[in-house]
Amino acid sequence: MLDRASLDRAIQERHFERILAANGPALSRLAASYTNTLSDRDDLLQEIAVAIWQALPRFRGECSERTFAFRIAHNRGITHLTRARARAGGSIEDEEIEVHDPAPGPESDLAQRQRADRLRQAVHRLPVAYRQVIMLTLEGLGYGEISEVLGISESNVGVRLNRARQLLRDLLENRK
Amino acid sequence: MTTDVELDVWREQWQADTAVPLNLRRNVERQSRLMKIGLVSDTIVTIVMGGGTTALALRSPGTDFVLVAIATWLFLAAAWAFVLTANRGLWTPSAIDTAAFVNLSVRRCRSVLATLWFAAGLFLCEVGFGLGWAYNHAIKGHETLLSWLLFSSLCIDVAWIFTVAFFGAIVWYQRKKRAELASLLELRREMAGPTTEAQEVQSSAWNGLFGLRAGRLRGSKKKRPI
């Protein structure tokens, strides 16, 4: 018969796997947007998974699992950027990230895939504060969830999102 | 273009990165279920055939049925060794993206084709052994081996019919799987162009994430040198 600790652990494992399965692709995209190389993305994904696992016992359902996972992932992403910039000697705000090859999309249409690639590259070039907001918006989070994930007010989310969209539009139109 | 439409278009493009087409995902899930059913069936066959011949060998005097039991267990062991090897790494996709699902489907298809060859070979060995054993114990009286093989008993005739049907089914299924493999490879080429290696490297990101099961998480995280 399972004792209490084994049961808790089994529940936690199932919970963990469910969160990863539900948010896997989004976490993968998120990690890619904080890193320059596939190797770094691998590392960041692992760090995110570890952090989610470690934080799971403290998860009380006060926010959605998605918000919970994204908040951890963004914190890890920022830590990753901070470390990377510390090594390079700069701040995370002026981070210039070289975009690695994106994953192939399901579209067989080359033009559509190229547009998606351009969007990813443009998002990658945004300053971190705007990148975070636009990324979460593109993942389908609302203002409330974004403010929970990033720890900023909803009005601030709106301001950042407007600015991010403007910058993104400029980047996509001008291909700077 | 209104701003909402703009955002929707961007969202669609953004999320297209790793969205797995529904039919592909369902196909892979169906294959996974069939693999599980196959494993359960193999276990049942092992218990019934292995257990049955062993019980027969224990109850019967002489070494004839011991030989049958030994041969049965050897065939079962060979089948299990092949199945476990062929199915290794084919239970789940290495990532939750289209490329990983297509890669898994391709590998499963190749595994099935290899399994068909193995099954045909194993079946021939089993038939050879079975007929040899039966001929050894047959009531003599047939002039030639050929007449014994064709006219000695209804059981042997049924076995021949079953053999023909079995190989017919194998040929049909092999053609079907080859066609499926060709279309999957075509799809992979369309998706990736010359970047198959890049996909596999990218998929390894998810290997890392999903590979981090509870047991490994408990200790320290795996960190590769940059």
Mean pLDDT score across all residues of chain A: 79
> Using a CB-CB distance cutoff of 8 angstroms, which residues of chain A are in contact with residue B217?
49-50, 53-54
SS3 assignment, position A138? helix
- Cβ within 8 Å, pair B205-A31: yes
Total domains in chain B come to: 1
Residue among A103, A112, A165 whose CB faces B97 most closely: A103
Helix (H, G, I), strand (E, B) or coil at B37: helix
Whether B98 maps to a domain, the answer reads: yes
Transcribe B158-192 into DSSP letters: HHHHHHHHHHHHHHHHHHHHHHHHHHHHHHHHHHH
The boundaries of the domain holding residue B37 are 20-202
Q: Is residue B222 part of a domain?
A: no
Distance from the B104 Cα atom to the nearest Cα atom in chain A, whole angstroms? 15
pLDDT score of A90: 56
Residue B126 included in any domain: yes
pLDDT computed for residue A12 by the predictor? 81
- Chain mean position to CA B165: 20
CA distance B206 to B208: 5
Residue of B nearest to A168 (CA): B10
A139 and B204: CB-CB below 8 Å? no
What ipTM, to 2 d.p.? Answer: 0.71
The answer to whether the Cβ–Cβ distance between A42 and B214 falls below 8 Å is no
The overall pTM is greater than 0.80 = no
Tokens describing residue A140:
């389908």
Half-sphere exposure (CA, 13 Å, Cβ side) for B84? 7
Please tell me the distance in Å from A22's CA to the nearest CA on chain B. 10
Least reliable range by pLDDT among A64-78, A146-160, B13-27: B13-27
**Cβ neighbours of A103 in B, within 8 Å:** 17-18, 97, 99, 199, 202
Top-confidence residue, B58 or A38: B58
Q: Please report whether residue B121 resides in a domain.
A: yes
Position B141 in a domain? yes
Asked if residues A38 and A100 have their Cβ atoms less than 8 Å apart, the reply is yes
Side chain identity at residue B155, one-letter code: C
CB A27 within 8 A of CB A69: yes
**Residues on chain A touching B202 (C-beta within 8 angstroms):** 38, 101, 103
Looking at residue A103, its pLDDT comes to 45
pLDDT of residue B81: 96
Residue ranges of chain B with per-residue pLDDT less than 50: 1, 194-226
User: pLDDT value at position B193?
Assistant: 52
More confident residue, B69 or A112: B69
Domains of chain A: 4-174 (1.20.140.160)
Give, rounded to a whole angstrom, the gap between the first and last alpha carbons of chain A: 63
User: pLDDT at position A38, please?
Assistant: 64
Distances (CA, A) of A156 to A76, A160, A162, A164: 22, 6, 10, 12
Residue B14 lies in a domain: no
